[in-house]
Structure 1
Amino acid sequence: MVGNLLRAHGLPLSRLVSRRRPWYGFSRKFGSYAVILPDEPFVFGVAHITPRSVPQNIPRPPYAGGSQADQDADGKIQLGGAAERRVRAAATLARDVREFAGTLVKANVTTNEIDAAVHEYCISHSAYPSPLLYSGFPRSCCTSVNNIIAHGIPDDRPLEDGDIVNIDVTVYLDGYHGDTSQTFLVGNVDEPGTELVKITQEALEAGISACGPGRRFREIGQAIHNLIRDTSFSISPEFTGHGIGTAFHRRPWIIHDLNDEPEIMRPGHCFTIEPCVIQGKTPTCWTFPDGWTASTEDCARSAQAEHMVLITENGAEVLTR
């Protein structure tokens, strides 16, 4: 079945090994790395994955059984008061979780082990790991390895020397979400993979540089496009940034490629910028039978980087730096 899947995407079958961790080396086009494919036999959905438990004393977001409804559907944070203090605290903790997760990345460590450690770190700081049970997601962070663009579900595959892995963490602290991600190198990553991770971080910074009161949200996509257009990389159009606050995802939606979004950034807008950069010029994707894990269509590698941005009266501040 996995062999048929590779053939369906025009990929030769050389060096395909191990049903638990199938891989194929792109020795000429995209570099040398392990391709992540769904295990066989396919299991549809995530009902077979048992979510980790969270102590009852830790407040939960509404989708996980919390008692309060989202309050910031207008897409803004009230500056200068409790709301701003709380969203800053959530963002700071998210940054700390991201940095902690990065220290765990090494060959032979499983993404499930990373998820367990992230989960414990969150609850030890009285925070709920926001991905847990969001639309049924069964884990406490997303771990996207090599050709996985986003929403990778932590599992028992060990990371291998030469992998890249994006760890996307979000925390719910004192009623507010903090969200950030980074793509980490596992051991000795080849030059194409290292360059991918580097330009992804540059794309994030380009998007941030386009932010400020009175500027249009479409300038973010324009700035990222200007950086990427003459390279061998592309931007995934499938995944956007988003407003964040008491709600995990809300307006404004941040489009990372060219767009005609007319909305203007105003003081109090708080949102993520999180471009997914892909090797080659085929930015389309397909989803695993689990309903979450999104892979590049041609199994090229993808990397992502994410920060939270708050528009102030005088500029734009990165909260997860």
Structure 2
Amino acid sequence: MSLDQEKLQSVLEKLMISDGKHSEYNAMAVEKENWIVKELSKFWGATFNGLSVKGTYLDRAKWKTCDEFDLHLKLKLPFPITPRKDDKGFVFLYAGIYKHEIVVDNYVNRKRLNDWFLSKLQSFKSYNNNFQYTANENGRTHTLKYIQSNIDISFDLVPAFQFTWDQLPLDLDLPPISAEVGSDMLWLAVPHTKRGSSGDERTFMVCSPHYEREATKDLKNFNNVLRLMKGVRDAHVDDFPQLSSYMLKTVLLHQLGRVDWNSDLATLFLEMWSCLVDHLNSGHMDFFLSKGNNIFDDMQCREFHECRISAERLLADFKNAASYNSLWLHRTFNV
């Protein structure tokens, strides 16, 4: 005996944002995002190429409140950048003979890019004191928090370069999507160290949030299971240090084409939580578009061990959930 479908569905309904609340936060976020676009344009000029939403809000898997937004800040240099093949989901960005402070030996340099990006955001923050700026520990994400009266919204920014699908120099083994949509698909190169080449500052990881959305949009319970897994993580936040929402999503992405997403919610949730435990026990889970590069490398050893132990403990509880009452289930998801 394990999780009860009806009880789990009631938990999901409590976790989900109502359409009205979603629209309210969406309107607020769009207003602030438009303001950020306008102001950032002043600092970057032609180099600023817009913002692209990523993460759980793009997937509509955000739960409770929409007060945190993950955004790629797209950059455009005043000369052509050509993605060149590295391997395993990584590319180099070739600048040729052109000179720029983020270019070293004809290639865009991650450290130079981060320093330049940091200086721009610090200037932006000083321009308006309603914003607080924080550089995250991983060095790849920069947070702008907008605070005014009762409004508190965080924008996590990652610098990125955008390309069309036919510019991708890698042959990636991906689940199929509509050919019509695929021809218009875009991808991003984001700064990231490649395993085994930490001294090479030229490497950028390939990602495509919109491909992920397209590949999962018609899968009935994909986002529902993701919401539930995030609900468990957030209800036990001290037990899951550094276990990001994208790590949870990656568990599900690796199961595309392997499971029936029309199955009942309880079965799928238990199966996906078991997959998370399997990945944690093995100590390895590939980035979705970068095989051979472990997403868990972003975690500290102690935090990783805590996550593994906690995930195993909860898996045992879920398998015996029929022995518990509804109060236990709702406390487990903090609803």
Same fold (TM over 0.5): no
TM-score, scaled to structure 1 = 0.31
TM-score by length of 2: 0.30
Greater percentage in helix: 2
